[in-house]
Chains A and B, each alone.
Chain A
Amino acid sequence: MINKNNFLWNAIKLGLLGGTIGIFFSLVGMIEVFSKRDVIENVITLGDFMLLATAAISGFIATRSQTNSKTITTNLVTGTLAGLTTGGLLALFVWVGSQINLRAVFLNASPVLFDLLTYKKGANGAWLLLEYGALAGLIGSLLFGLPEKTRKPLTNTILFLFGMALFSGLFRVVMINQEGGAAKLAKFLFGQTGLTLSGAFIFFIIVAAFTSLWSGQSKKIQGSYARLPKKGQITVRVILIAVLAFIAIALPQISGPFIAQVIVVVCLYAMMGLGLNITLGFAGLLDLGFVAFFAVGAYTVGLLTSYGPFGLEHISFWAAVPIAVLASMLFGAILGLPVLGVRGDYLAIATLGFGEIIRLLAGSDFLAKYFGGPQGIIGIQKPCLGTLEQFVKIDVPRVCDGLEFAGPKEIYYLALASAILIAFIAWRLQSSRLGRAWMAIREDEDVAEALGINLIQTKLLAYVLGAAFAGLGGAIFTVLVGSIFASSMQLNVSINVVAIIIVGGMGSIPGVILGAIALIGLPELLREVSEFRYLLYGITLIIMMLAKPEGLWPSQTILRELKHNEIMPDTESPNIKA
């Protein structure tokens, strides 16, 4: 019998898990889609990389978790065995697929998939799977065996290469647009579908050198910055800000409209994220219907500026924005009032319902004569920085004789400026008296009330201000798209916003921004990934919950909590409640 504690058994278990994950990726169609992209052109496709990485990771984890003896031999055997098992399970899958038609149940189990898995070699390919699996597992255990100092730069480099490969198409397009030397360099480094071999080699050297030199340097740099005289520190900061500002201003002109649009969308989500961060992160009040405020902002601007059939007025975008923000705040209060006394799960359900009600009403036939129903509102005027008369009232059709925010490349500035403004307001609010009241409510409502905090007023302000941020986002969204449809105000927008906050770090302003970049920006840039967006969200959320539940950039409060828990494990139980 197999001894369950045996390290071989442990390796097989993890190998089987890796294989199952590999089969899962195959059956949902990821491998097939990702095989159209290369990590390194003509060497390894993204799909292959995923499978090999799965085998390597199971080898790594098996080696790490085996407790028998940590000799080099057992480590290597463990890793190889785990990888071999992963490959074996995949080979078995290929064999089953060749005998039985799985397609009746699994749409993606197509001949193309099996060709891909076996490198078009049929039965021989199945052997290859075993070999590659074992090799990847071996690499995984070797990685484990490396000292931390070597491993960190190496894994970072691999991850960086992977990232460069994913975005190589983008870099290539952007650089080729510049023509001249940049275009030549682009063709040398980036292929049509991934990095070129020479590109991969060059990046590997640069990044490996950089990461190994960098380790430990950041502390030194911080130290020398701290030692600068006050005036010097200010100079450094001004220079940094100037450089950042220059990049921010020049970016859309260099990168073109596609990337500008992605950044606009990231900014809009960041604004919503910062809004929900006030309600949920600062005050601890869950809101699963956050898209409602976005919709109110969008519809208000739409109705006030459209020259289409549903336009109520023809005022300029600039005059409509404050009204839109006020309208969102009003809806924040309308949501806030009835749910003030509701806590926990009920709050989640009540707010979820609110979001759906707003969307259904906006898209309903019943209100179609006001909001256009499913046809939506079209013909929304773009913002124009022109004459003073046009600042308020605009002619129809308007001719903009000034700067028109016509497309993503111009709206980019509007969105970025608004996002920065909102981040600044959120930051000021956090350390204000109101911010402290929110914090107290989040930690303990009863105690907060006994300390003199007006719960009703404070909670309402959290809803109202959060709504204002989202409303501004909605207003900008409207002019970006030029039309509004109730169908773009789906529940998944609210869910995205919650996910941004969780992944970024609850209550942390930089965390929310980072979360918006990671969850919205990256999938927008990677077209292939969009199809599997929610699957990847799910995986990311699970991994985050397990590995880094505090978020990418946790708030001070959470960070301190973590640190203290590490230093002193909970020996005395705090908060004894009778």
Chain B
Amino acid sequence: MSTLTIDNIHTYYGNIHALRGISLKIEKGEIVTLIGGNGAGKTTTLRTISGLLKPREGNISLDGEDLLKYPAHEVVYKGVSMVPEGRGVFARLTVLENLEMGAFSRKSKEELNHNLEKMFTLFPRLKERRTQTAGTLSGGEQQMLATGRALMANPTVLLMDEPSMGLAPVLVELIFDIIKKINEDGTTILLVEQNALMALSIANRGYVLQTGEITLTDTAQNLKNNPMVQKAYLGME
């Protein structure tokens, strides 16, 4: 059974044809990565899935249910959460308030407290800094917060946009360990990355995106060994 199916979507910014017929399939429990250079359309893909952009053509469905018929603010109720590019934490709000905002779509108080406990176990650093404003966190901590905030909505599918961006290598490893852990706990993950090496090392499968089109798809292992991928994205000759 396929969880998230993206079928031949075309997304435009005015006249700019940013996605030119993209199809992806993410099975339940997988980590799938979407790699590609700057401006390839990775962010556009995630924003289209989460409803912030509407494609002119194509279909998106989750467990057989059409997602496109829902406005952006209802997609999260269907189980799709996004960790936006550049983290997008509410800089002037505290860590705790950010996490509570993440549970906006969950109205029950018990669920909120339960999820908060879960996040603080997953990210002990956030627990220490719960009363601090998000803007004063380090880049890595902000990434943890953005991830925790997205998880507060109990998603079945988590969309992550370049979580390693601007982070020191040690922190990148830490974040990727956490992504693996989240996946092991049962969340399906679509991971967008420019850091292809790290992404392919934790993903099951991958897609390569170039100027709005999927040019290659395979298992992560095969992509790592693919000479074209090695040359273009892994910095090997």
Contacts and interface: CB of A to CB of B under 8 A. Distances in A.
B111 to A, nearest CB: 14
Contact of B101 (A440, A455, A568): A440
B88 A449 contact: no
Interface string B23-50: 0000000000000001000000000001
A244 B94 CA distance: 35
Contacts of B10: none
Interface stretch (B115-123, B128-136, B182-190, B201-209): B128-136
Contacts of B100: 436
19 contacts: A437-B104, A446-B88, A447-B90, A450-B82, A450-B84, A451-B149, A452-B77, A452-B105, A453-B104, A454-B73, A560-B92, A565-B136, A574-B91, A575-B91, A576-B87, A576-B139, A576-B166, A577-B85, A578-B86
B74 interface: yes
B76 interface: yes
A401 interface: no
B101 A451 contact: yes
A453 B73 CA distance: 5
Contacts of B137: 574
Nearest to A561: B92
A576 B104 contact: no
Interface in B157-189: 162, 165-166
B139 A578 contact: no
A557 B92 contact: yes
A317 B94 CA distance: 45
Contacts of A564: 132-133, 135-136
Interface in B52-104: 52, 71-77, 81-82, 84-94, 100-102, 104
B105 A447 contact: no
B52 A568 contact: no
Contact of A447 (B88, B94, B139): B88
Task: Report the contact-size class of chain B (Cβ under 8 Å from the partner).
Answer: 35 or more
A440 B90 contact: yes
A175 B91 CA distance: 52
A446 B77 CA distance: 16
Given A433-B104, A439-B90, 20 more contacts: A440-B104, A446-B52, A450-B73, A453-B104, A454-B71, A455-B73, A557-B92, A557-B93, A564-B136, A565-B136, A574-B91, A574-B136, A575-B88, A576-B86, A576-B87, A576-B139, A577-B85, A578-B85, A578-B162, A578-B165
B142 interface: yes
B135 A446 contact: no
A558 B134 CA distance: 13
A560 to B, nearest CB: 5
B92 A568 contact: no
Nearest to B43: A578
Contacts of B81: 450
A450 B86 contact: no
A443 B93 contact: yes
Nearest to A574: B135
Contact of B76 (A451, A560, A561): A451
Interface string A441-463: 00110110111111100000000
A572 interface: yes
A446 B85 CA distance: 11
Interface in A539-575: 557-558, 560-561, 564-565, 568, 572-575
B138 interface: yes
A572 B87 CA distance: 14
B153 interface: yes
Contacts of B50: 450
Interface in A217-271: none
Interface of A: 433, 436-437, 439-440, 443-444, 446-447, 449-455, 557-558, 560-561, 564-565, 568, 572-578
Contacts of B132: 564
Contacts of B90: 439-440, 443-444, 447
Contacts of B88: 444, 446-447, 575
A436 B165 CA distance: 29
B76 A450 contact: yes
B210 to A, nearest CB: 18
A558 B85 contact: no
B133 A449 contact: no
Contacts of B71: 454
Nearest to B146: A447
Contacts of A578: 38, 85-86, 162, 165
Given A452-B76, A574-B135, A574-B139, A439 B93 contact: yes
Contacts of A446: 52, 84, 88
A93 B24 CA distance: 79
Contacts of A439: 90, 93, 101
A560 B74 contact: no
Contacts of B84: 446-447, 450
A284 to B, nearest CB: 11
Contacts of B105: 451-452
Contact of A451 (B87, B102, B165): B102
Nearest to A564: B136
Nearest to B136: A564
A574 B92 contact: no
Contacts of A437: 104
B72 A449 contact: yes
A437 B149 CA distance: 15
A475 to B, nearest CB: 35
A451 B104 contact: yes
A465 B101 CA distance: 22
B13 to A, nearest CB: 14
Contacts of B142: 574-575
A280 to B, nearest CB: 15
Nearest to A568: B136
Contacts of A577: 85-86
A450 B88 CA distance: 11
A453 B71 CA distance: 10
